[in-house]
Structure 1
Amino acid sequence: MNSEHSENRLEWQAESTGIGDRIDKYIVDRLEEEGEGGISRTQVQEWIKSGAVSVNGRLVKANYKLTLGDQVQVDVPAAEEPEIVAEDIPLDIVYEDSDVIVINKPRGMVVHPAPGHASGTVVNALMHHCKDLSGINGVLRPGIVHRIDKDTTGLLMAAKNDLAHVSLAEQLKEHSVSRTYIALVHGNMPHDQGTIDAPIGRDGQDRKLFAVTDRNSKEAVTHFTVLERLGDYTLLELKLETGRTHQIRVHMKYIGYPMAGDPVYGRSKTVDLNGQALHAAELGFTHPRSGERLHFTASLPDDFQHVMLSLRSR
């Protein structure tokens, strides 16, 4: 939601997508589509009980099912934003100027505060280091224009002011930001290269997960190139056209080559890593003020390199 302390009114008209869904599920899906993920059905049900949700001008219960043309209105209750504390956490800074900062994020570090991760995040560290960050994403995500998963390592850019934030966000939207990942997957991939063009949305069985689906999904495109075959594993270079949540992990599972070490989308018997073997190795973008094209690289972290040495020595 927005960071203001007034009600945020949302209005939608039910079209072909979502017809027959319960109203609580429909609202959660629409919020996710509009980049406001993280709102649970339980929370939406509380809004419904409080009278904050109406359909065609009438209050409804959570089990109301949408019909074509329904006018849905949600008055999202204002919420007090928690105070995010600056923390003196070391950062591996790859590049920094008055507009942008690029860091090499370690495994296990969450990008911004969220339920269960109120401190120790990249945002907490940036607030101590930079002092000033863009405010476009509100107090919980200052400076953050894109994310990588907690246990994914590698390059992440942040904006120090709103001018930089707007520029970087627009570049991401236009797919002009270049992002290259290195990943170790299960299986011996026979194709030297390929493209996965498969839409991603919430998993119908578990809303905490994502899956390739045609329902309430968004376009997702991943290009892969084989770097090395290591028996039952394959080392890949992956380039993203889009940046959906868990995109690479979901796409690799979808084509039958799940990420090594992935506790969510991977296999139970895997490599010895505290998380998926996925590293954001290269990042390129146009500087928001100078117009110069910048390109950065980050070597594989030590634990990933150790796994590779072990597989090569077998």
Structure 2
Amino acid sequence: MKQGNKPPRRHGGALNRNQTPPKQFKVTEQGELLLFLLDKLSPQGRNSVKSMLAHGQVSVDDRVEKLYNHPLRPEQVVTVRKDRTTVAPVLVGLKILYEDDDLIVVNKDAGLLSIATEKETELTAYRQLTAHVRLDNPQNRIFVLHRLDRETSGVMMFAKSEKVQQKMQDSWKDIVEERTYVALVEGLVKKTQGTITSWLKETSTLKMYSSFTPGDGQQAITHYKVLRANRNYSLLEVQLETGRKNQIRVHMQDIGHPVASDKKYGSKTKPFARLGLHARVLAFEHPTTGKLMRFETDIPKQFLSQFKEEPK
């Protein structure tokens, strides 16, 4: 069962005749957005400028930007509208499936980073959702609960308070009822279902690998079932009993069927320009209401296209 969505905010919007024309400023040197605005909009105070950011009145190169520390580069154009708006920035590579006062659940596209370090300025799910929750209050924040690799698509969630984050992370195994992925892997998997257990370790180059000596690393348990298969590829339903870094990717390599397009973990084919891994189902007990929440997404068409019926 898929959960109903929170009513979406409208995107876009034309300039109304009664609105004051926006001010535009060209960036001449690197810096941060808030400091740039404080300089250009002087003598307006810091709180006034922060309020403008929170209400979507500031755009950088025609994209609404709400983060105070958004990095600016020379030649960019910063636009400031006098009139407040409820226009939300368009989410890129991200769809909100559910949102309440405690949580925000999304479907992330392959290619989008979940979260980056402070030094990275690349667009991420975390950064976009931070801007989204600050539409209502510039002090709002989101908190990481788990991550998906950049090239993995699917369901993930964030907490909207540190209290909820702590509660969920402390009881993750009890709260999370189901994490199901679909994986397109190389070759014909002959055993129709199975369980892979190993102890994961990390090399100095940040690559994970399995040890089969009990206790030698973090225990990782993966259950799989074959959904479709042909000579070239198998489509697996994969359930995680533990959630370790790169767990599915390592375990698929361990059984001799690496995830498609996953060169890092042994793949020799590249049927498409993304990883053959999708987080399809996330089910958990709501941290406040105790209600079981379940979110299910479709299997990517790129995966299914590898199993076109042969002509009769």
TM-score (norm 2): 0.64
Match of 1:262 in 2: 262
How many pairs are equivalent?
222
The one-letter code of the counterpart of 1:212 is S
Establish whether residue 105 from structure 1 lines up as the match of residue 103 from structure 2: no
- Asked if the contact 1:177–1:284 (Cα under 8 Å) also holds between the matched residues in 2, the reply is yes
Percent identity for Structure 1 against Structure 2: 34
The one-letter code of the counterpart of 1:254 is D
- Asked if the contact 1:260–1:266 (Cα under 8 Å) also holds between the matched residues in 2, the reply is no
Match of 2:234 in 1: 234
Counterpart of 2:259 in 1: which secondary structure? coil
Counterpart of 1:220 in 2: which secondary structure? strand
1:289–1:174 Cα change, 3 Å: closer
Counterpart of 2:264 in 1: which secondary structure? coil
1:132–1:285 Cα change, 3 Å: farther
The one-letter code of the counterpart of 2:219 is E
Match of 1:251 in 2: 251
Shift of 1:182: 0.3
Q: Which runs of 4+ in 1 moved over 6 A?
A: none
1:278–1:289 Cα change, 3 Å: same
Counterpart of 1:180 in 2: which secondary structure? strand
- Asked if the contact 2:197–2:219 (Cα under 8 Å) also holds between the matched residues in 1, the reply is yes
Shift of 1:217: 1.4
Aligned counterpart for 2:206 among listed residues 182, 205, 208: 208
Aligned counterpart for 2:97 among listed residues 94, 97, 118: 94
1:105–1:84 Cα change, 3 Å: farther
1:164–1:234 Cα change, 3 Å: same
Counterpart of 2:265 in 1: which secondary structure? coil
- Asked if the contact 1:101–1:157 (Cα under 8 Å) also holds between the matched residues in 2, the reply is yes
Match of 1:299 in 2: 298
**Structure exhibiting the larger radius of gyration computed from Cα positions:** 2
Q: Where does 1:1-314 land on structure 2 (aligned, <5 Å)?
A: 85=70, 89-90=91-92, 91-114=94-117, 117-131=120-134, 142-174=142-174, 176-203=176-203, 207-213=205-211, 214=213, 217-268=217-268, 270-309=269-308, 312-313=309-310
1:155–1:291 Cα change, 3 Å: same
Counterpart of 2:149 in 1: which secondary structure? coil
Match of 2:84 in 1: none
Query: C-alpha separation between the residues in 2 aligned to 1:235 and 1:181?
Result: 10
The one-letter code of the counterpart of 1:153 is S
TM-score (norm 1): 0.64
Shift of 1:227: 0.8
Match of 2:85 in 1: none
Write out per-residue CA displacement over residues 181-224 of structure 1, whole angstroms, 9 at most, x where no aligned residue: 00111121121111111011113xx5221000258610100000
Shift of 1:273: 1.5
Shift of 1:142: 4.4
- Asked if the contact 1:155–1:280 (Cα under 8 Å) also holds between the matched residues in 2, the reply is yes
Structure 2 unaligned residues grouped into runs of 5+: 1-66, 72-88
Query: C-alpha separation between the residues in 1 aligned to 2:96 and 2:226?
Result: 29
